Structure 1
Amino acid sequence: MRRRRIADIEYAQMLLSRYTIAQLRHDGGLDRSAYVVLARLASDGPLSIGELSDLLRLDTSTLQRQTTAALRVGLVDRIPDPDGGAARKLTLTDEGRARLDATRERSLHALEKILDEWTDDDIDRFADLLHRFNDAIESYGPGSPKD
């Protein structure tokens, strides 16, 4: 029974990921990789490629390609480390912040419509469980006790 319910969660998570990607690309929104990088820079930045790699669990070559594309279109900038370190840091440009905010607003608007018939308690419970799920994902990986 537990294994079947975990398989249900895996399938639902896959669908959720697919729907989220489609939503982000709608109406000129950021693609998923840019959205993830920009959102992390907005919450934790400025960050180096190495710091982003650790936080997002992506190899540096993947992040290098993603951030180069974002640099090329003016969504991020490279700046000297504000703390005086040797590594250059990435930070959002005004355009990057505006595109992130616009994409996030479209996503929030869609979620408000999707969850319109849910009670506040259901939304609170779902949000709590999603946070718990994401925390468990972030603590899972090579070298973790769960690995």
Structure 2
Amino acid sequence: MVRPTHEIEYEQMLLSRHEVLRHRAGALERSAYILLSRIRVQGPMSIGELSEAFGLDASTLNRQTAAAMRAGLVERIPDPEGGIARKFRITEKGEHRLDEERRGIIEGLNMITADWSDDDIVAFAAYLRRFNSDIERLAGRPWPRPAAPDTDLPKTKQAG
């Protein structure tokens, strides 16, 4: 029996091309959005920790963090736990920009799912979480998630 994973592949390809949620004036670069999201959930991180978390080489992360620093989104601080490596922490501006970005994406998702029931949205989110968690398990790089589903998400008006 052939598994229907080809349907997932095709839909995932289509999903990756839909930038409708991210093409807004002043939108954060995708790499900055992911970097800030990870630091927000985990706390200050060194280049080594970021490299391990993202599976990227240090030179790539040095470029990404340098751009985020130039934009005032992150700052380097001494390790709060007394280690030698300096860590990156989100600035107030970075927090604000991340909240703005997330609000915009949530508003877009609210428009897309305007005709969905809350049960459908919850089920879809659960399948996405399971899919991502299985990828993370296979890659050996789990992504921390907030304690509650919306702990680090800014509040937004519901569509409807």
What residue ranges of structure 1 are gaps of 5+ in the alignment?
143-147
Which of 6, 21, 24 pairs up with 2:22? 24
- Alpha-carbon separation, structure 2, partners of 1:83 and 1:107: 34
Coordinate RMSD, CA, aligned: 1.5
| Structural mapping, 1:42-61, within 5 Å | 42-61=40-59
- Alpha-carbon separation, structure 2, partners of 1:83 and 1:2: 52
Once the 2 structures are TM-superposed, how far is the Cα of residue 25 of structure 1 from its aligned partner?
Answer: 3.5
Structure 1 segments, 4+ long, off by >6 Å, are none
- Counterpart in the other structure of 2:72: 74
- Alpha-carbon separation, structure 1, partners of 2:92 and 2:84: 25
Percent identity of paired positions between Structure 1 and Structure 2: 51
- Alpha-carbon separation, structure 2, partners of 1:57 and 1:26: 28
Once the 2 structures are TM-superposed, how far is the Cα of residue 40 of structure 1 from its aligned partner?
Answer: 0.6
- Counterpart in the other structure of 1:107: 105
Once the 2 structures are TM-superposed, how far is the Cα of residue 23 of structure 1 from its aligned partner?
Answer: 2.2
Cα pair distance change 1:84/1:136, threshold 3 Å: same
Q: Structure 2 length normalisation: TM-score? A: 0.81
Once the 2 structures are TM-superposed, how far is the Cα of residue 72 of structure 1 from its aligned partner?
Answer: 1.1
| Structural mapping, 1:68-147, within 5 Å | 68-141=66-139
Q: Give the number of equivalent residue pairs.
A: 140
Q: Structure 1 length normalisation: TM-score? A: 0.88
Q: Tell me: higher relative CO, structure 1 or 2? Use CA pairs within 8 A at least 6 residues apart.
A: 2
Moved more, 74-83 or 50-59: 50-59
